[in-house]
Structure 1
């Protein structure tokens, strides 16, 4: 089975502070953020709501996408989230594993 990677966006609340990351184990990484061990930024700004997920099979594509998203302006990021998750639901409970 090929390895999977994910680009993800965490938010503090609807239209709140955003955090963009990439990982090879999404459930574990989001859990780490929620328990205060993910990053200084997520701990400081309480960005723990998983609002956007993009799967990849190639880690280089995932990293390139993460870097590109980080350069986007805020309006584009908010539009991306709302296209796939208009209610800003926490997607953590939809993860299998």
Structure 2
């Protein structure tokens, strides 16, 4: 399975991060351990939302959409 997820910074709730992984628990642990340069400065993170996909290509397409302007608006209105 592939997971598209949205994280929220515990200390800076206005900061959110959207990502893709095949191991959601490990990826969240990596974000909170500072192993991602993009998210390290806003750690710790909490999981706000995720969706599972059986197809990596479809998951990647959805992640790309959520990172777009209209995708961010959709996520804010419908997902989180």
TM-score, normalising length: structure 2: 0.83
Report the CA distance shift for 1:36/1:15 in structure 2 as closer, same or farther (over 3 A).
Answer: closer
Runs of at least 4 residues off by over 4 Å: none
Higher strand share: 2
Residues 1-97 of structure 1 mapped to structure 2, 5 A cutoff: 4-13=1-10, 16-37=14-35, 39-46=36-43, 48-73=45-70, 74-82=72-80
Report the CA distance shift for 1:9/1:56 in structure 2 as closer, same or farther (over 3 A).
Answer: same
Aligned residues of 1:6 and 1:26 also touching (Cα < 8 A): yes
Cα-to-partner distance string for 1:22-73 (whole Å, 9 max, x where unaligned): 0011111111111111x11211223611001010000000000000000034
Gaps of 5+ in 1: 83-97
Aligned partners of 1:30, 1:59: CA distance in 2, in Å?
19
TM-score, normalising length: structure 1: 0.70
